[in-house]
């Protein structure tokens, strides 16, 4: 039995908290929103997962210390934009040597750090957290399915094998199969960038384009992610694996995917703001666009789909015209595949 503190009580944080509690672990959940703590503790329901009953054994707290002190694992499950502030709030209560697992997917636009990198950046500043272990836990994992105990796989990524395996052991159960990977950066890049490609897939479906276009976006989208990821030091097998191709497939095809759904609404003529509002949960693909553009320029990697998504989402370009331009890009020798 492990003692686990969960920071963030959104859809994914609560689906994982329930799963871990049902596996026999001791789970304490903290949220930055006091009203959310009260609501969860009294109703035992998460608003975006109405069919899921929250086990009585899960404790809720408004004190971040109670979710950080004396824990085997601290799980960061807040949307990417809150990872830095949450790390700052939690830092005084995180002991050195702690295992921290992050499940949020994104890249910080100002620093271009992946999210375990952001937590590391905060914690190493005080000189008291030099031995913290950082794990990225990522894969094709819709909360809605995990909440129903449907079979799911995920990757525990950490350069320290022993830590990756410890997290594997804690999260593994009858319905969750956990693989390990030493390439934390590659796994995190996959998780952040596939959301941008999922927006493209949704935009195309919203426009009325079919499965041919979606398959093309998945494969050529992964080609872009891989080109960048390999230049940044990621391992090829990460991009081909569960956290890469696996997560891209599910995010770019599933009706459960908020990125796909947001793209669909944009393809149907809604603005990005309207789409985000209608989806009602974090749309990390939109958050990831600025960093993806910056990384593409910094590493001199061509990412035409990412740029096309940006011009539709932020440039308000007409989606059909942008797809036309993508299809009519200059013919190149590298079109041989
Ligand atoms: N939902 C999924 O299926 C899923 C699966 C894998 C990974 N993820 C990733 O997990 C992360 C969280 O996703 P989610 O679906 O739980 O999002 P969500 O929109 O459900 O999360 C909202 C939660 O964020 C927290 N929050 C709100 N304001 C905050 C603040 N100011 N400071 C700190 N926390 C605050 C609250 O607990 C709130 O409930 C995202 O990066 C997402 O990509 C989600």
- At residue 61, φ and ψ (nearest 5 deg) are -145, 150
β-strand 26-30 against 59-61: which pairing, if any? parallel
* Residue 13 is labelled as binding a ligand: yes
- Distance between CA 241 and CA 54 in Å, rounded? 32
What atom in ligand 1 is closest to the CA of residue 284? 43
pLDDT of residue 315: 81
pLDDT of residue 324: 92
Give all domains of the chain, ordered by start, each with its CATH number: 3-182 (3.40.50.720), 185-335 (1.10.1040.10)
User: 103: Cβ below 6 Å to ligand 1?
Assistant: yes
pLDDT values of the chain reduced to their tens digit, one per residue, 337 residues: 999 999 999 999 999 999 999 999 999 999 999 999 999 999 999 999 999 999 999 999 999 999 999 999 999 999 999 999 999 999 999 999 999 999 999 999 999 999 999 999 999 998 999 999 999 999 999 999 999 999 999 999 999 999 999 999 999 999 999 999 999 999 999 999 999 999 999 999 999 999 999 999 999 999 999 999 999 999 999 999 999 999 999 999 998 899 999 999 999 999 999 999 999 988 999 999 999 999 999 999 999 999 999 999 998 899 999 999 999 988 876 666 6
Could you read off the pLDDT of 145-159 as tens digits, one per residue?
Answer: 999 999 999 999 999
- Distance between CA 207 and CA 191 in Å, rounded? 25
Torsion of CA 155, 291, 294, 110, to 10 degrees: -120
Q: To the nearest whole number, what is the mean pLDDT of the chain?
A: 96
- Distance between CA 53 and CA 45 in Å, rounded? 6
DSSP designation for 139 = S
Retrieve residue 167's tokens. Answer: 């997290």
Retrieve residue 194's tokens. Answer: 């596939």
pLDDT of residue 330: 85
Helices assigned H by DSSP within 207-301 = 211-231, 236-240, 247-253, 258-267, 272-279, 284-298
Nearest to 334 by CA among 171, 180, 185, 220: 220
The count of residues in the chain is: 337
Could you read off the pLDDT of 264-307 as tens digits, one per residue?
Answer: 999 999 999 999 999 998 899 999 999 999 999 999 999 999 99
Host H or E run for residue 41: helix 34-43
* Residue 334 is labelled as binding a ligand: no
User: 146: Cβ below 6 Å to ligand 1?
Assistant: no
What atom in ligand 1 is closest to the CA of residue 80? 41
Torsion of CA 67, 71, 75, 81, to 10 degrees: 50
């Amino acid at each position: 039995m492990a003692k686990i503190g969960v920071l963030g009580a959104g859809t994914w944080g609560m689906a994982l908290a329930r799963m871990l509690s049902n596996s026999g672990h001791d789970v304490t959940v903290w949220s930055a929103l006091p009203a959310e703590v009260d609501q969860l503790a009294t109703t035992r329901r998460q608003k975006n997962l109405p069919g899921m009953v929250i086990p009585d054994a899960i404790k809720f707290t408004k004190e971040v210390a109670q979710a950080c002190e004396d824990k085997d694992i601290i799980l960061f499950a807040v949307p990417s934009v809150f990872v830095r502030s949450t790390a700052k709030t939690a830092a005084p209560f995180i002991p050195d040597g702690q295992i921290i697992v992050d499940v949020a997917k994104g890249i910080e636009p100002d620093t271009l750090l992946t999210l375990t990198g952001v937590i590391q950046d905060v914690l190493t500043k005080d000189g008291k957290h030099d031995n913290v272990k950082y794990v990225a836990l990522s894969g094709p994992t819709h909360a809605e399915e995990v909440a129903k105990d449907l079979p799911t796989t995920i990757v525990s990524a950490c350069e320290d094998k022993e830590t990756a395996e410890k997290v594997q052991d804690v999260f593994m159960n009858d319905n969750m199969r956990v693989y390990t990977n030493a390439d934390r950066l590659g796994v995190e890049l996959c998780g952040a960038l596939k959301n941008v490609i999922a927006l493209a897939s949704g935009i195309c479906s919203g426009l009325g384009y079919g499965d041919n276009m979606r398959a093309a976006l998945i494969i050529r989208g992964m080609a872009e992610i891989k080109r960048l990821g390999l230049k940044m030091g990621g391992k090829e097998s990460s991009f081909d694996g569960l956290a890469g191709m696996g997560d891209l497939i599910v995010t770019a095809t599933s009706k459960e995917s908020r990125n796909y759904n947001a793209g669909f609404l944009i393809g149907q003529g809604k603005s990005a703001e309207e789409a985000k509002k209608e989806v009602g949960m974090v749309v990390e693909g939109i958050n990831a666009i600025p960093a993806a553009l910056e990384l593409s320029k910094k590493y001199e990697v061509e990412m035409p789909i990412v740029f096309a998504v940006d011009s539709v989402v932020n440039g308000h370009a007409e989606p059909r015209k942008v797809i036309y331009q993508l299809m009519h890009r200059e013919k190149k020798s590298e079109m041989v595949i």
